[in-house]
Copies of this chain bind each other. A is one copy, B any other.
Amino acid sequence: MVKESPSLRAEEATGNGKDRATRGPGRRLHGAIAHKLGTAILSGQYQPGDTLSGEVAFAEELEVSRSAYREAIQVLTAKGLVESRPKAGTRVLPRTRWNLLDPDVLAWAFAGEPDIQFVRDLFELRAIVEPAAARLAAQRRDKDDLKLMKDALAAMRRHTLATDAGRAADRDFHNAILNATRNDALLVLTASIGAAVNWTTQFKQRARALPRNPIPDHVRVYDAIVAGDPKAAAEAMGVLVDLALEDTASAMER
């Protein structure tokens, strides 16, 4: 048995409890374990069909109690990543069983080197859903929705997409659109994907300076929604997503 000093406990031992509670990988110990195992699975370190042999062995290796490990496994099971059966051990399920749209799973998928094919799938889904959302928003928005969009747009103008505040404003803008659709299912879906994709945006930023000014494209979407023109809103959002895809794709190919 090799002591690898997994540093799961070490994090706690440093007494830096505040950080762990506010923005650690998982706020709690089992959350940290779930994060560790989740990223290992998503990164392909464990293949579907592999077995995480030994409840006790794992608990010892990670230097945590069996309870903590068990609760982490419950989390992974709840997200469809693994399945535990007596005697057989805990096995990684085939990819089709994974809840790829779960925010945590998405976060784990993008924790390491994101799979290019998966990123493309996500953008494709986004290209399907977001224009449709813009269409619905153009039909159903009220004054409050428009105000939220306008404010977010103004914030985007003030800061740029290179800053945290700017990216937050971008998220706010898209969220305002989703809210205007009055569709909860659409909201949670796109919010999850958007959050994950924004991870790749930082990626993109790191690769090179922003190649174009995104404001005019956003304004076109906003104007169409204000005008209550569903067709124009969908088309404007379509080009927005396409451009984002282009930028990300070219950034990842280098």
Contacts and interface: CB of A to CB of B under 8 A. Distances in A.
Given A75-B74, A79-B78, A129-B129, A100 B185 contact: yes
B95 A99 contact: no
B30 A74 contact: yes
A98 B30 CA distance: 20
Contacts of A244: none
A188 interface: yes
A183 B125 CA distance: 8
Contact of A121 (B70, B103, B186): B186
A95 B102 CA distance: 15
Given A102-B102, A103-B80, A186 B124 contact: yes
Nearest to A98: B188
A83 to B, nearest CB: 10
Contacts of A67: 67
A96 interface: yes
A74 B74 CA distance: 7
Nearest to A84: B28
Contact of A118 (B98, B121, B125, B184): B184
A99 B188 contact: yes
Contacts of A192: 99, 101
A187 interface: yes
Interface in A206-229: none
A50 interface: no
A96 B188 contact: yes
Given A75-B78, A100-B188, A189-B189, 18 more contacts: A30-B74, A67-B67, A71-B74, A80-B103, A96-B184, A96-B188, A99-B99, A99-B101, A99-B188, A101-B189, A121-B183, A124-B136, A125-B183, A125-B185, A125-B186, A128-B128, A128-B129, A128-B186
